[in-house]
Amino acid sequence: MKIKLICHTPEPERTVAMAARLCYSAVGAEQLQDKMPAEQIGKLIDKIIEVGHLSAFEHVSFTFAVEGVSRVLTHQLVRHRLASYSQQSQRYVKEHDFEYITPPSIAANPVAVTKFCALMDTVRAAYDELVALGVHQEDARYCLANATETKIVVTMNARELLHFFELRCCNRAQWEIRALAENMLTEVRTAAPQLFAKAGPTCVTAAYCREGALSCGRLAAMSHKS
């Protein structure tokens, strides 16, 4: 898995603070943006997070290049609808030598990984044979596995990212998209540490578990340690 933050709104924290301050100011956005000192920006961001005035977070966006992930992951990812996606097309890109993602539970089992890799070889052969028979790759792709490696560009605003991290950094999230979310969180914390200082699952950020009876037990373990 390879995740890189390739671009984002310039000075994201200043932009968020300016947008929030504008709601209560007689002067315009440009003047606020130019004159707000760094200390005021920090205090404003802390305040709007505390009171939940998160609409201001929607004014900054972050774009990620994601590679080395499966179609299983991207099928989950695109359910986050307040985002923009551009994915490598199996209709136009030939998949004769496709790579695939092996789940850790399969990789750790010698018998399972042998069966899994053999199946991927069979799928490759079937794809090649269909194309050789004159079937266009847009139809030959129907035999491809969910494990097939894909690449995708993802853009989300900061508010949607907070929601994404809340759901997908949870231990109950599927392992692959959880790894994606954790890597994305690391990337945005470098670019905008204050905006994402409290990002993550609710057990970490708000001391409650949204999973109820299905809790992984992390909250209880954290409470016990404290």
Read off the pLDDT of residues 116-158 as tens digits, 9 standing for 90 and up. 999 999 999 999 999 999 999 999 999 999 999 999 999 999 9
Mean pLDDT in residue range 18-24: 76
Spatial separation of the C-alpha atoms in residues 12 and 25, rounded to whole Å: 20
Which pLDDT score is estimated for 34?
65
Which pLDDT score is estimated for 38?
83
For the chain, what is the largest distance between any 2 Cα atoms, rounded to a whole number of angstroms? Answer: 70
DSSP state of 135: -
Spatial separation of the C-alpha atoms in residues 46 and 165, rounded to whole Å: 18
Buried b (16+ CB within 10 A) or exposed e, 185-202: bebbeebbebbbeebbbb
Cα torsion 142, 147, 151, 154: sign? positive
Q: What is residue 154's three-state secondary structure?
A: strand
- Using the predicted structure, report yes or no on whether residue 37 has a pLDDT greater than 50: yes
The residue behind tokens 């890109």 is: 93
pTM beyond 0.85: the answer is yes
Which pLDDT score is estimated for 26?
46
Average pLDDT, the chain: 92
The better pLDDT of the pair 198, 212 is held by 198
144 and 127 Cβ atoms separated by less than 8 Å: yes
Neighbours of 210 (CB within 10 A): 14
The better pLDDT of the pair 185, 47 is held by 185
155 and 83 Cβ atoms separated by less than 8 Å: yes
- Which residue type occupies 149? E
Residues serving a catalytic function are 168
Residue 2 has which token pair? 């390879």
Which pLDDT score is estimated for 29?
57
143 and 127 Cβ atoms separated by less than 8 Å: yes
44 and 20 Cβ atoms separated by less than 8 Å: yes
Mean pLDDT in residue range 191-216: 89
pLDDT band at 226 (very low <50, low <70, confident <90, very high): low
- Using the predicted structure, report yes or no on whether residue 23 has a pLDDT greater than 80: no
